[in-house]
């Protein structure tokens, strides 16, 4: 592995924390360990204190055209979802740069792209060195877009965190940790509030409330923590809070607004749930499996080995799946943990 070449990590960096930004942060942790020089180009619109120096890029498309005329790093690793960005950055191949795109999501498939966009995608595939699809579904879509198969690798985006449990747990307020002290079992989840997808709550907070209101009556030592990543509709959030209160669960169903490390909660939890209406290859699910925490998720996409799925938006099936996991002997997830550990090595082999 050559360590003299520099890497441009182009995407988003926390805060705010999300699947892509956490992936970039952990990848940079590993690049640092490997003594590979890198620069982070951060398109996150939200401010906040970063744990590394970043180069902010507020106007992404305009920045990309300026960047190709500047002095560039040797390896261009792009995480942005727009084909316009992928195309512009792929032009750096003409300057002798290595261009790799990690495709975390494909919002536009081949049927939605116009002729000019199809040409742009074709040229992007021609110029770029490699595409890392985070799932088989994304690989299939890339193939439909005529990206050469030899240039596509399927590598989930999960990278194990650099765990400092003692330090990170100290960053979690006492009132949150108290939930684990007061209850013998705690369910955890995270996501936004008010993101509607075809009229349904994207991250499934409403389903969590429905499910917990039933299981909480059966088990008085059951708690729930929902970490809110962002709020789109404040009025809807207030209605959810009213539902929690109406069930008399305000002391047992905790909504967390602070930006805190989430993995310590996953480690402590009896169950992690992800009842999303639409999804990609969720990093949080792979993190739960990595830590050996039982996981229940919707069946909207193919889930990793070891995950228990329920029928999307079916509250009864969701409750049934959670009940069975909580009341059953925990499955040994060690075999699946090994699967999660290999992805970063595969990524670095392609990138460097």
**Tens-digit pLDDT string for the chain (352 aa):** 445 799 999 999 988 878 899 999 999 999 999 999 999 999 987 667 899 999 999 889 999 999 999 999 999 999 999 999 999 999 999 999 999 999 998 864 545 788 899 999 999 999 999 999 999 999 999 999 999 999 999 999 999 988 788 888 898 999 999 999 999 999 999 999 999 999 999 999 999 999 999 999 999 999 999 999 999 999 999 999 999 999 999 999 999 999 888 999 999 999 999 999 998 888 899 999 999 999 999 999 999 999 999 999 999 999 999 999 999 977 788 888 888 999 999 999 999 9
How many CB atoms sit inside 10 A of residue 15's CB? 16
Residues 140 and 181 in one domain: no
Q: In this structure, are 286 and 326 located in the same domain?
A: yes
Its domain, for residue 42, covers 7-157
- 188 and 48 part of one domain: no
| pTM for this entry | 0.86
Torsional sign, CA 208, 213, 218, 221: positive
Residue 217 sits in the same domain as residue 235 = yes
> Facing residues of 186 across strands?
223
Total domain count for the chain?
Answer: 2
Residues 302, 220 within the same domain: yes
Residue 103, token pair as written in the block: 């495709």
* Domain identity same for 85 and 179: no
The reply to whether 272 falls in a domain is yes
Alpha helices by DSSP H, listed for the chain, are 19-33, 60-67, 83-90, 115-127, 136-144, 165-170, 174-182, 205-218, 234-246, 263-268, 283-290, 315-327, 334-341, 343-351
Angle of helix 343-351 relative to helix 334-341, nearest 10 degrees, comes to 10
| Same domain assignment for residues 200 and 249 | yes
My answer on whether 206 and 304 are in the same domain is yes
Q: Is the domain of 233 the same as that of 315?
A: yes
């Amino acid at each position: 592995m050559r360590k003299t070449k520099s890497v441009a990590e182009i995407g988003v960096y926390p805060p705010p924390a999300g699947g892509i930004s956490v992936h970039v942060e952990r990848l940079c942790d590993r690049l640092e360990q490997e003594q590979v020089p890198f620069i982070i180009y951060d398109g996150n619109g939200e401010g906040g204190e970063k744990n590394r120096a970043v180069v902010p890029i507020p106007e992404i498309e305009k920045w990309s055209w300026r960047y190709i005329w500047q002095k560039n790093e040797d390896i261009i690793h792009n995480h942005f979802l727009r084909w316009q960005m992928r195309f512009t950055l792929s032009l750096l191949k003409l300057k002798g740069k290595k261009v790799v795109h990690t495709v975390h999501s494909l919002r536009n498939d081949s049927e939605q792209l116009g002729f000019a966009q199809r040409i742009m995608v074709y040229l992007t595939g021609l110029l770029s060195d490699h595409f890392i699809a985070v799932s088989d579904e994304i690989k299939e879509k890339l193939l439909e877009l005529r990206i050469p198969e030899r240039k596509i690798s399927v590598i989930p985006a999960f990278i194990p965190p650099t765990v400092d449990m003692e330090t990170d747990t100290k960053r979690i307020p006492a009132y949150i940790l108290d939930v684990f002290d007061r209850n013998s079992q705690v369910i955890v989840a995270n996501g936004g509030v008010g993101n509607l997808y075809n009229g349904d709550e994207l991250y499934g907070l409403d389903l969590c409330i429905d499910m917990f209101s039933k299981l909480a009556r059966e088990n008085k030592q059951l708690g729930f923590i929902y970490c809110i990543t962002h709020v789109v509709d404040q009025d809807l959030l207030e209605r959810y809070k009213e539902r929690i209160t109406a069930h008399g669960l305000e002391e047992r169903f905790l909504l967390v607004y602070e930006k805190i490390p989430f993995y310590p909660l996953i480690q402590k939890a009896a169950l992690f749930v992800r009842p999303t209406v639409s999804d990609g290859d969720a990093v949080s699910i792979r993190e739960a499996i990595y830590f050996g925490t039982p996981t229940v998720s919707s069946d909207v996409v193919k889930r990793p080995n070891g995950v228990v799925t329920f029928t999307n938006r079916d509250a009864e099936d969701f409750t049934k799946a959670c009940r069975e996991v909580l009341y059953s002997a925990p499955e040994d997830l060690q075999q699946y943990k090994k699967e999660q550990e290999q992805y970063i090595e595969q990524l670095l082999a392609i990138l460097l």
